Structure 1
Amino acid sequence: MRTGQMKRTSYLAAVPLLFLAIAEAPAADPPRSGHPVFDRAVELVTDNFHDEAALDEFVEAVRREIDDPASPVNAKSAPDRVGEAIDTVLASLDASHVGHFEPDTIEYFELIDIFRFAIRDEMRRLFPPEGEVSYPGIGMIARPQNGARFVSDVYDGSPADRAGILVGDEVLSVDGAPYHEIESFSDKVAKPVEIELRRRAGAEPITLEVKVERLKPLPTFEKAIAESAEMTTRDGRKIGYIRLWTLAARHSMGVVAEALAEGKLKDADGLVLDLRGRWGGGSSDAAELFVGDTPSFRLIPRKGEDVLANVRWRRPVVAIIDEGSRSGLEVFAYALKVNGIPLVGARTAGALLAGRGYLLPDDSLLEVAVSDAVLEENTRLEGAGVEPDLPVPFSLPYAAGNDPQRDAAIEEMRRILARG
């Protein structure tokens, strides 16, 4: 059977996997520290966490934290470190879609936008006057490794992308000061900053000038998906590529469908679909674009332009996965795999629970896993993930923009097309 044209399999009811809200009966009152932020976080977990059996260990962790004189919940001199205590007790749950996020991180703003419906009554207060989430930045994510920070993601079409920042670059400073995700760019919107980077181990630093923008998370993702689309040619055959940064944006799959049906990728002989995302979310039936049975069609009005009503991609597909493929993107990867579409890269995150966001009294964000997710035949991806058919390791430090997983996926597609 031709790749991408094997059996069609239903795999999960179409529910949003990142921001499902479940009403549960409240649990017994948990221990209290007297710190309003910590106590509210504990209360929300005990009332809403999906696995009641895990709460005994959680409550014990809370008691240990409260009884520890050195804990931030007891240290009058360090009330701003309460996040450390919250992180400690959350770790006892050993589950995905559980976390505490403060407004000095990009994660906070991206998740606030994803969970905007759950906290809709607070949006105008948090982001006046219209309640539109935004933050000052350049479209770059850097993560710590081996005592340094390396660029792990550059959003396509972002200021960082246009300036030539590459995945694997070591971030040394911004305007001569240590790098911080938000603080480095605060009060600098529409202004250039100088970012000092090291591209190769032991090499002399380089400095790039990047203009700071006020980024809206979900529109930034939609733009990045569209901007990632490109075509390459191998052995005379056209291979398309597009990166699905998240399913959580309203038009994520619409952007992909448009690129395939009438955009940059419409003439591709085969497609490399990059599922190495930033967040999952979205509807769990998103993979229907590639494995669904319903036919493609468009609406043709008497006057005006045709409208795409249903897009189905019937040509070969190879997908790339790694630990950034999580939540809804893992269901996507699973659906492709059971339909015979090759997966290249590394095991997915194993993070398939449904989360909901809650604001705490200090306006930090608490994510709680409010529902388990089980696929067909009692398959659970939480803690297990989806394994690639073709494992390809990727080393982040000093990658200099090289991407062996993408290269391997393109080569796999070349082989598929060569077989006819």
Structure 2
Amino acid sequence: MQAKMPGFLAVALLLLLIPANALALDPPRSGHPVFDRAVQLVFDNFHDMSALDRFGAAVRQEIEDADTPLTKNSSNARADEAIDAVLASLEASHTGRFQRDTIDYFELADIFRFALRNDMERLFPPKGDASYPGIGMIARPANGALFASDVYDGSPADKAGIQVGDEIISVDGAPYHEIDSFQRQVGKTVEVSLRRHVGEKPITVKVAVEQLRPLRTFEKAIENSLAVSERSGKQIGYLRFWTLSSPNGMEIVNRALATGRLKDADGLIVDLRGRWGGGPADAAELFVGDTPSFRLISRDGEDMLANVRWRRPVVAIIDEGTRSGLELFAYALKTNGIPLVGTRTAGALLAGRAYLLPDDSILELAVSDAVIGEDVRLEGRGVEPDIPVTFSLPYAAGNDQQRDAAMQAMERILAGG
């Protein structure tokens, strides 16, 4: 039997292993309340204490900047710039600041609603339900313009015919802003001017504006992504995991596979090109687990799915949007011989937590490392595809090379190739 170390010796040894500068956890201060609170939260909670020297140096550099030193009287814009700079010095995923003029803010508030529970009713009166006015579309810059990068399945943008790759020019004649463009427009329609093909004249589509609940929107998108295509006499199912964070997302997928739209498919395309990861670490068990499927049946004949397992062929799609829990999902599929199509995943597998800053912006911070098995880390590394296929966003006009390649791979599998 191994001898136990006396308590005081264990504490002493632990203290020797902690860098001396980490014991005080007293970072430099600028006097600016939002900046200083963000810095203190990093020193108190960031998972990698070895990064705090580098972080502290970045903090001092911002405070002592010769041209624009950061002080309590600095503008919000200067503080924003400084916070972004010091957080970037940590070189970690699940670490960033989000403000209320972005969809990210509302989606993260809903995902981290428990961590923010004491402030949710104040932030989102009257019941504390995170929501924002929008059309279910994400746009990102490329080549000096904005392009629709995500159109949530079943959203108003999807129903109006907006496609991934469309250049977003304006909303009601004004520049597009993902929150401000839709303020006070809920229940109304807006005119979105877009360009589908390079050099062509813009077209205008009318889109209904809704008050969107983020996690419900993701669940709706997962359900509306379900599709079956016939290829060479075979039925190929498709589903997209927009996130693993929604409470009912896995249940929607389980039902579709066991008793719903996908139950008779010969093979399945699992799209892991998501917005956020999160969710259960064992989500991939649905496709690679060894336990049998079973249902619980009550005396009145009503059944409840207790354990669903998909035993037919699977091909998965990945890209830089495959992160966190979805990245672990992709890794599990790959190590079990399921082919991955697309581009390398985000390399963003740490455990994050949300904190509210004094201006009600959200600080997401990596609070734990994530290790697979004995020593595998995906942070900064990601998962490589088995079949590399790039996706060109600008003017994609609804074409999806990665989904097409996944379909072709599934056809080969079902044909015995």
Q: Structure 1-normalised TM-score?
A: 0.92
Of 262, 267, 289 in structure 2, the residue corresponding to residue 270 of structure 1 is 267
SS at match of 1:419: coil
1:232-381 aligned at under 5 Å gives the runs 232-381=229-378
Count of residue pairs brought into register by the alignment: 396
**What amino acid is the match of 1:221?**
F
Q: Is the 8 A contact 2:148 2:167 kept in 1?
A: yes
1:402 paired with 2:384, answer: no
Match of 1:14 in 2: none
Q: Deviations over 1:362-391 (max 9, x none)?
A: 000001100000111411100000000000
SS at match of 1:151: strand
Q: Is the 8 A contact 1:26 1:47 kept in 2?
A: no
**What amino acid is the match of 2:304?**
V
Going from structure 1 to structure 2, the CA distance change for 1:314 and 1:190 (only over 3 Å counts) comes to same
Match of 1:389 in 2: 386
Match of 2:3 in 1: none
Match of 1:31 in 2: 28
Q: State the Cα distance separating 1:246 from its structure 2 match.
A: 0.3
How large is the RMSD of aligned CA atoms in angstroms? 1.3
CA–CA separation in structure 1 for the residues paired with 2:41 and 2:249: 30
CA–CA separation in structure 1 for the residues paired with 2:129 and 2:327: 28
Structure index of larger Rg? 2
**What amino acid is the match of 1:123?**
M
Q: Structure 2-normalised TM-score?
A: 0.93
Match of 2:180 in 1: 183
**What amino acid is the match of 1:417?**
L
Of 116, 129, 140 in structure 2, the residue corresponding to residue 119 of structure 1 is 116
Q: Is the 8 A contact 1:289 1:313 kept in 2?
A: yes
Q: Is the 8 A contact 1:275 1:319 kept in 2?
A: yes
Q: Deviations over 1:343-379 (max 9, x none)?
A: 0000000000100000000000001100000111411
Q: Deviations over 1:121-174 (max 9, x none)?
A: 101111111100000000000001111110000000000000000000000000
Match of 1:128 in 2: 125
Structure 2 residue ranges without an equivalent (≥5): 1-21
Match of 2:65 in 1: 68
Higher RCO structure, 1 or 2 (CA under 8 Å, sep 6+) = 1
Q: Is the 8 A contact 2:33 2:72 kept in 1?
A: no
CA–CA separation in structure 1 for the residues paired with 2:141 and 2:178: 12
**What amino acid is the match of 1:56?**
D
Q: State the Cα distance separating 1:27 from its structure 2 match.
A: 5.0
Q: State the Cα distance separating 1:71 from its structure 2 match.
A: 4.2
SS at match of 1:120: coil
Match of 1:223 in 2: 220
Q: State the Cα distance separating 1:82 from its structure 2 match.
A: 2.0
Match of 2:14 in 1: none
Q: Deviations over 1:186-241 (max 9, x none)?
A: 01001100000010111100100000000000010011001000000111000000
Q: State the Cα distance separating 1:79 from its structure 2 match.
A: 2.5
Single out whichever of 78-87 and 385-394 deviates more from structure 2: 78-87
Q: Deviations over 1:302-359 (max 9, x none)?
A: 1152111110000000000000000000100000001000000000000001000000
Q: State the Cα distance separating 1:264 from its structure 2 match.
A: 1.1
Q: Is the 8 A contact 2:32 2:74 kept in 1?
A: no
Q: Is the 8 A contact 2:164 2:397 kept in 1?
A: yes
Going from structure 1 to structure 2, the CA distance change for 1:382 and 1:34 (only over 3 Å counts) comes to same
Structure 1 residue ranges without an equivalent (≥5): 1-24
Q: Deviations over 1:64-121 (max 9, x none)?
A: 1011255483384622442221001101011100000000000000001111111101
Single out whichever of 405-414 and 254-263 deviates more from structure 2: 254-263
Q: Is the 8 A contact 2:62 2:82 kept in 1?
A: yes
Structure 1 consecutive aligned stretches of length 4 or more whose deviation exceeds 3 Å: 69-77
**Sequence identity of aligned pairs in percent?**
71
Q: Is the 8 A contact 2:31 2:72 kept in 1?
A: no
CA–CA separation in structure 1 for the residues paired with 2:330 and 2:371: 15
1:107 paired with 2:115, answer: no
1:151 paired with 2:135, answer: no
Q: Is the 8 A contact 1:295 1:310 kept in 2?
A: yes
Going from structure 1 to structure 2, the CA distance change for 1:27 and 1:185 (only over 3 Å counts) comes to farther
Match of 1:203 in 2: 200
Q: Is the 8 A contact 2:349 2:378 kept in 1?
A: yes
Q: State the Cα distance separating 1:292 from its structure 2 match.
A: 0.7
Q: Is the 8 A contact 1:38 1:73 kept in 2?
A: no
